[in-house]
Structure 1
């Protein structure tokens, strides 16, 4: 169950830089009470996001609601090993989501706040980037 879009404007994209997260929409939690926020920029693959989503669905079940705030919509191409130079760009290997510094990755809301915090702490270890758990009540600097 990997995440990827059904259709894109182009099959393959060029590499680009990760733009800074200046808009306030992605810095504060909008839907849930708790959120996982990235402290540095990175590229998350669809496999990493689905693994966290599965952990949240298995542990929380129907006690809370989960929102995914970033979506892997950028294809990354790769040529097979032992292929000579030239002959065009490789086929799509994986899908990534570009995460700027300060962007919220997941949001959760539910009644049992202590249980949700424990589950989110387990999820932070799966991510290859420094992250923090924030709440709606936290003041944004």
Structure 2
């Protein structure tokens, strides 16, 4: 299973990529919205994890591209430090399937990914 993870904070992207690789996912990382779109088009991921505030294009613009230009129904998880209701509602209205507030527990992220992808609980390696 291929995951596109996009976040402009290198430590977040590195941690997320490491844990998802450990579980058994193939992760392609991006640190800006435009490269996230390029990776989406090139790698055809099974799921996208997206931050909202990123350089070049925002996470909102990337969601809009995936949903309205590509007409993709791929699961999208927003992972952001923004906690206000208006931002969360905008993400869902644009087509996000889940919203995880930073800081987040990596085990929680893995569980939510498995749920969205309808994977068995015992998929991949255990984190505990």
State if a TM-score over 0.5 links the two structures: no
- Of structures 1 and 2, the one with the larger relative CO (CA 8 A, separation 6+) is 1
The answer to which structure has the higher strand fraction is 1
Answer with 1 or 2: which has the greater Rg.
1
Under a length normalisation based on structure 2, what TM-score does the superposition of the two structures give?
0.28
Under a length normalisation based on structure 1, what TM-score does the superposition of the two structures give?
0.27
